[in-house]
């Protein structure tokens, strides 16, 4: 099993939306590295921190589980979509997505709290200039956050 951090702006999809809907397609990723993580590295059953970004207090809001194989992101084909890509075709889609299933809403862990722990010093999320919307989380980082900071399993 691998671990991930998946960012979403709460006004687009929040942890509460995920809880209500049960699962959501993780659409709108338009970075090749993040797309490659979803397309090539993620597996069904992998766990992910659901991270609220683009808000007053960014942070981890919950946990989800990857619950689908990769498939084309339909927003790339719609000219009306903010995520439209005119160079992408149904025969050769550029952008893939996976579905994320709700596991649980957790204690909110804001970015400054994550930065305060030396055990997370090498976490990709905390690297300067990191803007990826999907990134791997090491098993050690996952264990520290879930056990020490969230008090889970």
| Domain 3-149 fold | ph1033 like fold (3.10.590)
**pLDDT value at position 152?**
83
Full 3-state SS string of 27-52: CCCCCHHHHHHHHHHCCCCCEEEEEE
**pLDDT value at position 129?**
84
**pLDDT value at position 151?**
87
**pLDDT value at position 10?**
94
Q: What is the mean pLDDT of each run of 10 residues along the chain (153 residues)?
A: 96 96 96 96 98 94 98 96 94 96 97 95 92 94 94 80
pTM exceeding 0.85? yes
Measured between its terminal Cα atoms, the distance across the chain in Å is: 16
Provide the residue ranges of all domains of the chain, joining segments of one domain with +: 3-149
Angle at Cα 21 formed by Cα 89 and Cα 109, nearest 5°?
Answer: 100
Residues 6+ apart with CB under 8 A from 3: 46, 47, 48, 49, 136, 137, 138, 139, 141, 142
**pLDDT value at position 92?**
94
């Amino acid at each position: 099993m691998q671990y991930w951090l998946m960012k979403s702006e709460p006004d687009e999809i929040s942890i509460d939306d995920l809880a209500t809907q049960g699962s959501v397609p993780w659409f709108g990723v338009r970075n090749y590295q993040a797309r490659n993580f979803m397309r090539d590295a993620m597996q069904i059953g992998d766990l992910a921190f659901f991270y609220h970004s683009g808000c007053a207090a960014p942070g981890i809001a919950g946990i989800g589980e990857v619950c689908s194989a990769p498939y084309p992101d339909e927003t790339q084909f719609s000219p009306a979509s903010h995520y439209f890509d005119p160079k992408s075709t149904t025969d050769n889609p550029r952008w893939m997505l996976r579905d994320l299933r709700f596991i649980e809403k957790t204690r909110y862990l804001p970015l400054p709290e994550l930065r305060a722990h030396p055990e997370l010093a090498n976490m990709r999320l905390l690297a300067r200039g990191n803007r990826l919307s999907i990134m791997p989380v090491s098993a050690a980082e996952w264990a520290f956050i879930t056990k020490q900071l969230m008090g889970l399993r």
